[in-house]
A and B are shown apart, each in its own frame.
Chain A
Amino acid sequence: MSKFLNRTLIFIIILTIVVSVISIFYSQIKNKYLSNSNFVIDKKINILILGDSHSEAAFNDKIIPNSVNYAFSAEHYLFTYFKLKKIIEANPQINKVVLSFAAHNISKNIDDVIFLDTRNSRSFARYFMLLNRESIWECKSNSQNWKINYLKWKFSIPFQLKLELKLIYKVLFFKKILVKDYPFIGKFYKSKHHVFSNLNNEILNHYFTNNSISKESDLNIKYLNKIVDFVRAKKIKLYLINTPQHKKYRERIPIFFKKEYKLLSNKLVNKDTSLIKIIDLSEININDTCYGDYHHVNYYGATIVSNKIIDVVK
């Protein structure tokens, strides 16, 4: 027994030393790849498009002049806030931000979907490098994944190598890091697919928890407010856009969320009517073939939406 315990102890000590060395080495790499200079984009770009899959699918940055679409599927406003800050710090020429804003963004169920379990690890791993201690605790869930990822953040251990591999490689080999190399940077989702799948599931996932209407997402609303405050401080115009949704989907949105969405929209605009604009395109009349599913447009729908947005953000 003593041989077993001794050897196990020696092994643990060696392992701890090796992990500590990796941790120190890795934190140096992380500091390098997080440098603001890596986030500098083309000086001509003055419109930044952010948000979740609604932005990702609806705004074609090839159509909207001087714009870039960095939206990412299932992105919580908590993550958008830190992403926005980082990009703006490196790119003072950006004076307009387009952000998707729909009723599902204020549903508590979306918090659960994003922060619980498997999703948590993916989102966390993708955005962890941007987050601070306070925000990491705000993402907390009871899942095993959160605990592991928190420890990895705390002790500076790579989260998911496949997400960071490019960045680590570029730092080690002195290559230039591009904004698109970061795992949280999305792009316009060019899809011509049109599949109306199970509407019931979509509605349940967006607005219901255990078959009852979800509560409001305090966290999403808090960070949406922080986004608004941040752009106001920087004198940046913010366009909160509700992208097209199919009539059948709109009809199924619970009245509670329709009302709350209206109330919040008014509150946000009233913070600064000159800088904050709400644009509701959810009810525009487009063909079924322009939808990717019940609440996303596809490439054809995006062409229509993007052309409408050009005039708005001019």
Chain B
Amino acid sequence: MCLLKNNYICTLTKTNYYNYLLMKFTSFEFIIFFIIVFVFYWFVFKNKLKTQNILLLIASYFFYGYWDYRFLLLIFISSGLDFIVAKKIQKESLLSKRKLLLAVSLIANLGMLAVFKYYNFFIISFAQMWNNIFATELNYFTLNIILPVGISFYTFQTLSYTIDVYRRKLDATNDVVSFFAYVSFFPQLVAGPIERAVNLLPQFTKSRKFDYYDAANGLKQILWGFFKKVVIADNVGTYVDQFYNSPDLFTGSELFLGAVYFSFQIYCDFSAYSDIAIGTAKIFGFDLMKNFNYPYFSRNIGEFWRRWHISLSTWFRDYLYIPLGGSRVNTKRRLFFNVLAIFVVSGLWHGANWTFIVWGLLNALLFLPSIITSNNRNYLNTIAENKKFPPLNEIIKLFVTFTVVTMLWIVFRANSITDAWIYFTSIFKPDFFTIPSKLGGIPMIILLIVMEWYARTDNFPLEKLKFNTAIRWSIYIMLFILIIVFAGEDKVFIYFQF
């Protein structure tokens, strides 16, 4: 019915804007761009480190400016400010002045993030609260601006540099090109992984040689990323939109299936971007950090958070949780506060909506018992390590963790808390035990699970296939064909809006 589809269109207005103008990894424009940069990088400017870095900087600014050149100014200001501030921090010995300089960087970077991402949300929420308490209308204005793609990612990346220089973990760089290229490095600019300066910046200053195995692995990781994005995320995404836009039209079992589909959509969408980013970087001789480590093979919520969006969770751990005292605090109240803070801020990082805050809060509530009982560091190993299958109790834990995470994703996906509640309660109806329709996404999800299960100790499933060349190449060709066949229902990467 049109009713359903009209609502669908409404919810897409913002993502459409990104869809049309972005140079997505899955676009023809990116393929051409990539080939041109590759040729210049490895053939024309071979063994010329400085020129290669200048090329990467120009390519990265072109990549970002292709979407909207006006926002280049933001990334330029952010990079320039932190380059100067870090150098001053490095030279300064007086702690108070160093703190002041760090505060300048924090206020400027987080200020830009606050204006572009959170201003409207907070002003509207405040005005609503004011109206409710004082029963008078509060005059306010909102900003008619679109969220700059990737602002949350590069802001955190550049902040990590200044903070690490402040902590004397890293020396401030004098190489302006390398620093600007580090902040804007196109493979991971718009959706991570959020790289630390300690890891990525030195790679810009060392000469890079083409390595066959790295490049081949990079291509394989890109192929795996494309498979996850095109064949699974975009495919199940069409079902997810239908379920979430009109939950009243579906049975409880179908809505549960919709929630499961979203779990795979968001995982395959986001981790695909990371895979393509890491693979692309490998081809250019860079080693980016692992961002996902088979999160749905987790046995409790603590393990899940060690395996999901690793670059963000470790960022919050190192730059927020530990400075707050982490788990080494005197009172339980303080521990509660620290855990709540990290999860709520993590939720808010995803977007200016109460759904993200509540999602973060619910994760905190689930995580708290394990940290109180000191069980949060259980399961540091991989499930069924050196075995084919795990014991029954671990299988049960895996299913329980997946189900809990899936239920929490409902809040994350819904447009409002009310919508999330309606969706959640609609699952548990008598028709929950009927066979759902729209099972079309299941075969590819099963293929994903099987491949990931067998590769759960590797970086990605195609990394170390233990077959001869003919079988390996047949697998690559099969994945390619699936991508070609499933292509054409392209959706923008979900994390572009964060």
Contacts and interface: CB of A to CB of B under 8 A. Distances in A.
B7 interface: yes
B399 interface: no
A118 B237 CA distance: 11
- Report the interface size class on chain A: 35 or more
B238 A197 contact: no
Interface stretch (A13-21, A77-85, A299-307): A13-21
Interface string B16-32: 10011000101110000
A15 B6 CA distance: 40
Interface stretch (A4-12, A62-70, A253-261, A281-289): A4-12
Contact of B2 (A53, A124, A157): A53
B130 interface: no
B16 A293 contact: no
Contact of A144 (B26, B212, B476): B26
Contacts of B484: 19, 152, 157
Contacts of A56: 1
A134 B439 CA distance: 35
B490 to A, nearest CB: 5
Given A8-B219, A201-B10, A296-B2, A193 B491 contact: no
Nearest to A164: B485
A118 B480 contact: no
Interface string B456-498: 0000000000000000010011001100111111110000000
Given A4-B216, A202-B6, A142 B20 contact: yes
B42 A1 contact: yes
A35 interface: no
B5 interface: yes
Nearest to A54: B2
A288 to B, nearest CB: 15
B481 A22 contact: yes
Given A148-B487, A148-B490, A116 B1 contact: no
A160 B486 contact: yes
Given A143-B19, A195-B248, A296 B480 contact: no
A191 B490 contact: no
Interface string A125-165: 10000000000000000111101110010000111111000
B2 A122 contact: no
B210 A293 contact: no
- Report the interface size class on chain B: 35 or more
Contacts of B103: none
A15 B486 CA distance: 16
B494 to A, nearest CB: 14
Looking at A117, A144, A195, which has the most chain B CB atoms within 10 Å of its CB?
Answer: A144
A148 B491 CA distance: 13
A92 to B, nearest CB: 32
Contacts of A1: 42, 210, 212
B297 to A, nearest CB: 27
Contact of B473 (A11, A118, A157): A11
Contacts of A74: 2, 5
Nearest to A149: B488
B95 interface: no
B489 A160 contact: yes
Contacts of B490: 118, 121, 143-145, 148
A189 B24 CA distance: 38
Looking at A117, A149, A202, which has the most chain B CB atoms within 10 Å of its CB?
Answer: A117
B323 interface: no
B354 to A, nearest CB: 19
A3 B216 CA distance: 10
A117 B248 CA distance: 26
A14 B19 contact: no
B481 A18 contact: yes
Nearest to A12: B480
B19 A117 contact: yes
Contact of A205 (B10, B215, B473, B486): B10
Interface of B: 1-3, 5-7, 9-10, 12, 16, 19-20, 24, 26-28, 42, 210, 212, 215-216, 219, 235, 238, 248-249, 440, 473, 476-477, 480-481, 484-491
Given A143-B20, A198-B7, 18 more contacts: A11-B473, A15-B480, A19-B484, A73-B5, A74-B2, A117-B20, A125-B489, A142-B20, A144-B26, A148-B487, A148-B490, A152-B488, A157-B485, A160-B485, A189-B1, A202-B3, A205-B6, A296-B2
24 contacts: A4-B216, A14-B477, A18-B481, A19-B481, A19-B484, A57-B1, A117-B20, A118-B238, A144-B19, A145-B488, A145-B490, A148-B487, A148-B490, A157-B484, A159-B488, A160-B489, A162-B440, A193-B248, A201-B10, A202-B3, A205-B6, A293-B1, A293-B3, A296-B3
